[in-house]
Amino acid sequence: MNEIEVDNLSHLSKNVATDNIDNINNDIELETIQNDNNNRNYNNTDIELETEPNNNNNNNNNNNNNNNNNSNNNNNNNNNNNNDKNEITNKNENGENEKINIFLSIKLYFIQYFKKWKGGEKSPARADLEEIGWSWLTSFIGILVLALLHYRVTVEKETIFLLGSFAASAVLIFGAPKSPLAQPRNLVLGHIVSATVGSIVRVALVYTNAQTEVACALAVSLAIVGMHFTKSIHPPGGATALICVMSAEQRWRGFYYIFVPVASGSLTMLLTALIVNNFARKRKYPVFWW
């Protein structure tokens, strides 16, 4: 064989070999494609198989969550019921506690109230003989002056000048001249305020055929209020108001009573107290005027 034929044969063999290699590569590619497809199918089936139990698990979880929610709702309802019961119980306990507190407050009040009856302070010392003597002398002179004016002057004119309440005033201004209740403001203004109140109550209730008992109580209580407002508390003033309601009808529908005997008599007593009290060595009257 010549060289040309040898070259041709070698070229042919090379071509055949390359063709075989290409065929082999194609077969390998086909196999790999098939393998890939098979793997994908397997994977898909595996995924489907995996998703099915996952879905079942999810459904089970949802059911469990629903059951848990139901149980939570039941628990909440039970808690609400328990809270309502507790509120009712607390209200009942609070009501009982309030009753107990009220009872204890009333009990303590009455305990303190009756303790006040015991007093606690010592009585003041007795006045000395000199003070007692001057109290007798000054009160004798004071009432004597009023009695003389009453029986020697005013009785003939069908009026009065001497009241029972003046005797109580004499105890204060002649027996305790240092007392705040015995000072001129209290003596004069206290009697005038009380007489005014008594006259008004008499006109409003007694003359209108109202109950005299109510008129008596109202006259004294309102007289005390009036003396408080005018800073003229004078214990005999209550008697002055009461006498006005109980006495017989006088001139000026009873308002004459304010001037005679109340104002005139209290001023007469004040003048007498100024004169006779200051003769005593240990006395000074008044302590204050207004």
Contacts 24+ apart (CB under 8 A), 46-50: none
Q: What pTM was estimated for this model as a whole?
A: 0.65
Interatomic CA distance for residues 254 and 191, integer angstroms = 15
Which segments of the chain have a pLDDT < 70?
Answer: 1-87, 91, 209-210, 248-253
Residue with tokens 């139990």: 53
The DSSP 8-state label assigned to residue 235 in this structure reads T
Pick from 171, 183, 169: which is nearest to 265 by CA?
169
> To 5 degrees, how large is the angle CA 30–CA 32–CA 33?
65
**What pLDDT, on a 0 to 100 scale, did the predictor assign at position 83?**
66
Cα-trace Rg, the chain: 60
Residue with tokens 């996952």: 54
**What pLDDT, on a 0 to 100 scale, did the predictor assign at position 129?**
93
Interatomic CA distance for residues 87 and 31, integer angstroms = 81
Interatomic CA distance for residues 4 and 265, integer angstroms = 182
**What pLDDT, on a 0 to 100 scale, did the predictor assign at position 49?**
40
Enumerate residues 6+ apart whose C-beta is below 8 A from 132: none
**What pLDDT, on a 0 to 100 scale, did the predictor assign at position 168?**
95
